[in-house]
Every structure is written in structure tokens, then in C-alpha cells.
Chains A and B, each alone.
Chain A
Amino acid sequence: AQSVSQHNHHVILSEAASLELGCNYSYGGTVNLFWYVQYPGQHLQLLLKYFSGDPLVKGIKGFEAEFIKSKFSFNLRKPSVQWSDTAEYFCALVSTGGGNKLTFGTGTQLKVEL
């Protein structure tokens, strides 16, 4: 069975600081990878996704993530965070052999301080 691990449960940063949120997965086959974001009081929204091709993917609001197959990782990065990035971030995967159901990590709560 597949699983997703997010190492940081709570992260506090000052505005303009750089962000990197860790995500590792466990699955022996091909996966599609996602980062979703949940802003306070809002529903889950797609931030970015990796299906195939260039392992460096860019998403909305200046976020990017790099798929490193050898490390089973899909870390999320942003060079300079803003107060409006305060949210909960979820890494998730779909295994291509297991239907299209998402397996989520436990989430990282990011707080950006002014």
C-alpha cells in the first residue's frame, strides 16, 4: 500500500523568508503527485501537480516542486513567502495501478508572520 509522509507539521516563517516543505512517499510503481492547499475557511485547492516529464513543476502563486524519483520525494518550495500564504498544505499521490484515489499526507500548517 502507498503512503505519504510530511515531515513538518507546523512551520512559522517571517514574510520574505524562503519555504521548503518536505514530502516523501512510499510506493514501488508509478505515481502522480500533488500539492493541495487549504486557506483558512476555504476548501482544498490544487497548488501544483506532477504526472510526467520535467520533474520541476511550477504551480500557482509562485510555488514550485521537484520530483526526485531516487529519493521518493516531492518537496514544495517558494523563494519568498507572503502573509497570504498562511494555510495548511497537503502532499498527495495517486498510484497509477490503484484507481484514481488520493492518498494524503498529514498536512503542514504554515503560518507567515508580518
Chain B
Amino acid sequence: DAKTTQPPSMDCAEGRAANLPCNHSTISGNEYVYWYRQIHSQGPQYIIHGLKNNETNEMASLIITEDRKSSTLILPHATLRDTAVYYCIVSVAGNQGGKLIFGQGTELSVKP
């Protein structure tokens, strides 16, 4: 599986957009970009995934560069409850044998 690189920590002011970057320069053509987050003492939570097009759901937006070597997760209006560790993972789809290999992630602190 391709590896990802994320900054270890970031701060964001409450109400502002949080932009979390991820580098995945060795991603393969059939690998998706997945984002999960883990709030303290809870199991990880799925956020969003994409292949090459930008994606948006009720939680976040995912922007993938045209060459697919990097992506950005955007939380449009961060709240204190968004404080968590955010993981960017690249993998093939589950029906192709994909599995999630977690790196160290980015610890996002949303401050009042």
C-alpha cells in the first residue's frame, strides 16, 4: 500500500476552516484516498473518500490534486468537537482486498 505523509499537528480557530494536507506521491491508479478521524477514547470515524474527483459530504470536502499526489481535507467551519487525530490513508477498495493501514495522522486542535 502507498504511504502518506501528514503534519503531526495543526491548530485551528473555532468557526474557521480547517485545511489538513496529505502527501501520497506513490499512490497507484486504483487506490482511493480515505480520511478517518479519531476523537479521544473513541474508535475511528469514517469521514470521506475519493479517487480523483473532489468530493463533498455533510462532514467535509476532499480536494485531490490533478496528479493525485496530494490531497486536502477541509472542515469548513471547525468546532471544538472536531478536535481529533485525522488520518489520511490510501488503499484500493474493500471489494478489491483493500485494508486500512494507519499512519501517525495529524492531531488537530480547534481552539476557542
Does A associate with B in a complex? no
List the interface of chain B (C-beta within 8 A of A).
Answer: none
